[in-house]
Structures are given as C-alpha cells and as structure tokens.
Structure 1
Amino acid sequence: MNKVVIGLLGATALFFATEGAHAAPQQITDTVITVQNVKNGHYKIDPYHTQVLFSVSHFGFTNYSGNFSDISGVLALNPKNIEKSKLDIQIPIASIQTTSSKLTQELKDPDWFDAKQYPTAHFVSSHIVKTGEKTADVTGNLTLHGITKPVTLHIAYIGAGVNPLNKAYTVGFQITGKINRGEFGIKTYLPKVGDEVDLTIAAAFEKAS
C-alpha cells in the first residue's frame, strides 16, 4: 500500500473519530470573576437553566423531591453594594413535576397547590444582607396558595461570564431556604407528610441592560 493511500486512510479515520466524539466543553471565561467584578445592571432569569427543587419528608420514610420549571423573574444586581440589589422570582405551579405522574397531577389539585386558582408562586425581596464574600441572605415576601408570608433565602454566588453557546453575559447562584407549607394553607396529610419543605434553586440570570 503506497504512502498516499495510507495518508488518505489515516485522514479519513481521524475525520470520523473527530465527528463521533463530543467536543470538550468550552470554558466560559479564562479568568476568575469575583462577585465584585460581576457586571452591574438588570438581569432576566434564563428559564432553560433555572430550576426550583423541593424536598419534603414522606411519611418519615424518605425525603421526597420534585421540581418546578419555566421560572421567570428579574434581578437588579449591584455587586459592589449587594444590599441595594433586588430580586423578583415567579414560579408557575402547573409546571410541577415528580417521578410519579399520578402524584404530579394530584399536587396540582385543590387539596394541594390548587394550580388553577393559584397559578403562580411569587417571591419579591425586601432586604438583602451580605454574609460572606460569595454569600448573602435575602428576605422577602413569598406569595403561595393565595397567602403571603416573609421568607429568608440563602444565596451563594457560583460564577459569571459569557455563555459560549448563546453569547449572553450570565451570572449564576445557588439559592436555598425552608418554608412550612401549613403556613401557606397546604395542609393535606399533615403531619405525616412533612410540614417543613426544603427549597433549592439553581438560578441563572442573563444580562438585559
């Protein structure tokens, strides 16, 4: 076999190997962006990469989890003076999902969230306190199931930079908190199904202005 044929076969093999492999993830940024260096301004939630997860004790056997999607909201971010920032998040109740289709439907019904009468959960911040270099506590009003109560969420900065896929400048946070569902009038199976609900929000925001 001559050198030309060998070269062509080698190039063909390399082409198919490259096409079949997944490209390595692109780095968002070459430098570490500290909280203070994140761009100031107004952001909108990226609904495709934002999740609201909840977990509750299920008859004391397991901590059962589910999630909400299609989240919307805005963030007025002031990185150098985080106390002046504002957060507004809206969660469509009908987007709820669990690993059981039967339970998912039940949770939308009047005995639970009553998604038709109360289609949206809404959190609006009223007070922000810096708790560390990358953390803050955000207190605000949560309206759920037609009832509004004060709630404090704990926010941790994850990272920021230009998304290599859509080129949007993005900042991300991990948000955690707890609520008592009974305080919001969701009392089915209390106390056997837990009252305290753990919340975890993976929140991505894209710069709007």
Structure 2
Amino acid sequence: MKAIVFAAALLAAAPALADSAKSVKAGTYTIDSPHSEVLFSVSHFGLSNFSGVLSGVEGTMKLDPAKPLDTQLEVSVATGTVSTPVDKLTGELRDPEWFDAAKFPKATFVSKKVTQTGAETADIAGELTLRGVTRPVTLHAKFVGAGLNPMKKVYTVGFDATGVIKRTEFGVSKYAPMIGDEVTLTIHAAFEAAN
C-alpha cells in the first residue's frame, strides 16, 4: 500500500518537477545508463516488423538552452547487450555476421551539427560507427522533460530520438533483403547533470 501511495505522489508531482526545454540547466551531462536504451526494428520477410533492444548506453552531452545549436553529444552502446524475445536470435546477433560484439564491443554516435526544428525538437546530424564502419546519420530528437529526479536527487534531462540506418552499409548483410536492410532506431535517453 505504501508503494502505491508513493507512486501516486510521484505522478502527481511530475508536472511540477518538470522544466520546459527553455529552462533546462546549461552544463555537461552524463548518460543515466539504467534509464537509457536503443531499440531497433526491422522488416521480417515483409510480413511483420521485429524489434530488439540494446542497453549499456554511456556518454556525455554539453547543453545550453540559450545556444541549442552548440549542443555536443557523444554516446556509445554496448553491442553485447543486444536482446530480443528469441534467445537463439539474441545469441546469433552477437556473432561475427551481425554485431560481432567480441571484436566491436561498442557502437558510437558523435554529433556534428544540431538544427532546431521546433520549440522542443531538433535534428542531430552526426557519425555512427558500427562494426568499425563510420557513416553519417541524422537523429530526430524530442525533449521529454527535465527536473530533479525525486529518487536520486540528481537534476536530469530526457530526450527521445528516432533515426533510420541501412545495416548493409555497416557490413551487416545476412539475410538481406528478406530481413529488411532499413533499420529504424528509437532511442530513450536520460542525462544527469555532472556538476
């Protein structure tokens, strides 16, 4: 019962806790890894879409709401954390024909240019390195919220982002095109103030 009351109090307080995009504190932030993830979705024989997730996200962001175009982002995700609803597939995705997690344990994204597209949205153009191959990728980011995390007492800012890559451009061609070449990425990221 106490847990339910506590959860209800947190939900009730959420609007008061959240800052708008313009009032976010400027500074350097680090990824809150347990609350960040990269989801991927791919066509399965053209009959359905199939998804998986990567965790183990790390990285930093330099952010000043007064100068949003100067935002700098550098993040990585551990390829060995890949997970799907199918245990056999999860294991295979770590193999050399897919992520090759033993040889390339991390995928990285480094921002190069930020273009504001709305009051709480921006396009982040950067370079994605996967399996040792670097390609330009643009992520479409949306501000979710910011404020003091009531559990950890740390100022936190959150974003969602989406993007599309072609896996064959990174040397992942197994079963293409039966299993789709285009991979849709959905990223949920929480960043904690470093100072």
Query: What is the TM-score when the length of structure 1 is the normalising length?
Result: 0.88
State the partner residue of 2:115: 129
Backbone CA RMSD of aligned residues: 1.3
Query: Is the 2:18–2:147 Cα contact (8 Å) retained in structure 1?
Result: no
Structure-1 separation of matches of 2:17 and 2:132: 45
Q: How many residues align?
A: 192
**Is the aligned partner of 1:208 residue 2:180?**
no
State the partner residue of 2:103: 117
Structure 2: unaligned runs, 5 residues or longer: none
State the partner residue of 1:4: none
Structure 1: unaligned runs, 5 residues or longer: 1-17
Q: Mark the CA change 1:28 to 1:186 in structure 2 (over 3 Å): closer, same or farther.
A: same
**4+ residue runs over 2 A deviation:** 18-23
Q: Mark the CA change 1:177 to 1:21 in structure 2 (over 3 Å): closer, same or farther.
A: closer
1:67-78 matched pairs, under 5 angstroms: 67-78=53-64
Sequence identity (%): 47
State the partner residue of 1:3: none
Q: Which has the higher strand share?
A: 2
Give, as a single letter, the amino acid of the residue that structure 2 aligns with 1:189: Y
Structure-1 separation of matches of 2:34 and 2:18: 24
SS in 2 for 1:94: helix
**Is the aligned partner of 1:85 residue 2:68?**
no
Query: What is the TM-score when the length of structure 2 is the normalising length?
Result: 0.95
Q: What is the Cα deviation at residue 114 of structure 1? A: 0.7
Over alpha carbons, which structure has the higher Rg? 1
Q: Mark the CA change 1:19 to 1:177 in structure 2 (over 3 Å): closer, same or farther.
A: closer
**Is the aligned partner of 1:94 residue 2:80?**
yes
**Is the aligned partner of 1:61 residue 2:47?**
yes
